[in-house]
Amino acid sequence: MAKGNFPTCLQITLAYEGGFSNDAHDPGGATMWGIIQVEYDKYRRGKGEPTQTVRDISHDEMEEIYAANYWNPCQCEVWPQGNDLVVWDAAVNSGVTRSKQWAQNVLMTPAKAWLEMARIAQAQPDRTDFVKRFCAKRLSFLTALATWQFFGKGWGSRVANVEARGVKMVAQQMNPGAVTVTLANEAARAGKRARGHATATGGATGGSAAATQAIDWTHPIEIVAIACLLALAAYCGWYWWVHRQRAQAYAAVAMGG
């Protein structure tokens, strides 16, 4: 069974994966505590036990599957605390291979072995940078999925929360006396960026609305200009939402949420 930071990371992940689900929009099908039926069937067969509905999975079975299929393959016990959380939660949500790719990209290393990447992460002077950049890559991937329209709100909240908790874990290890200040500063930075994008969104939206009133629809250049303003409004609106989620998550974690 996994040790170290596993119980804490599992608890955080189960807040999003807990309970039974059989959403028609979820390609995984029937799921309990984040474990899909196919994965549970494979586990039971490997134990020489008859398959059964994943809804009847025991807590011990769930923990064993998570440890064997995600925590241990990612070498999470070797990763610095906080870094282990973001790597682990992404592996559970999007797969071990995908999580590895994001870790390689953030660390800017050709290393392919989890253990080697974990040791590279240990040597990083700013472990919070890994947490934030990893979560940004993860969110960018999720937004491109066709299922974002169904699960995007929850995914966005989850990634922001995992980022904030990951940064808290890093602070607890590196500078335990400044955990609250670290989280408050991150919340303030994210809030400032959200307000900046909100202002830009309002400006682009107002500009496109005013231009629409006077546009000559026979002039392609004016049509393109309107389209650019609308695209800018959408872009800024998106990042307003992202940074607002981050600011709220940091504030909540700072308050013990």
pLDDT per position as a tens digit, 182-212: 999 999 999 998 888 677 666 545 545 554 5
pTM of the model: 0.86
Q: What's the confidence (pLDDT) of residue 121?
A: 97
At residue 52's C-alpha, the angle toward residues 49 and 54, to 5°, is 120
Strands, sheet with 35-36, edge to edge from the N-terminal-most edge strand = 20-21, 31-32, 35-36
Domain ranges of the chain: 179-257
Beta carbons of 92 and 13 less than 8 angstroms apart: yes
Q: Give φ, ψ of 255 to 5 degrees.
A: -85, 5
How distant, in Å, are the alpha carbons of 8, 188, 252 from that of 174?
18, 21, 21
Q: Closest by alpha carbon to 76, among 109, 99, 98?
A: 99
Instruction: Please name the residue ranges forming H helices in 67-178.
Output: 83-94, 96-107, 114-122, 127-143, 148-174
Which residue's entry shows tokens 């009133």?
213
- Residue 19 is predicted with a pLDDT of 85
Distance separating alpha carbons of residues 184 and 237, to the nearest angstrom: 24
Torsion, CA 148, CA 131, CA 162, CA 53, rounded to 10: 70
In this prediction, the residues of the chain whose per-residue pLDDT falls under 50 are: 204, 207, 211, 217
What's residue 26's pLDDT? 77
Cα atoms in the 13 Å half-sphere on the side-chain side of 159: 26
pLDDT at residue 41 in the model: 97
pLDDT at residue 217, as a whole number: 47
pLDDT of 206: 55
Instruction: Give pLDDT tens digits for 30-47.
Output: 999 999 999 999 999 999
pLDDT at residue 202, as a whole number: 60
- Could you tell me the end-to-end alpha-carbon distance of the chain, in angstroms, rounded to an integer? 28
**pLDDT for res 58:** 97
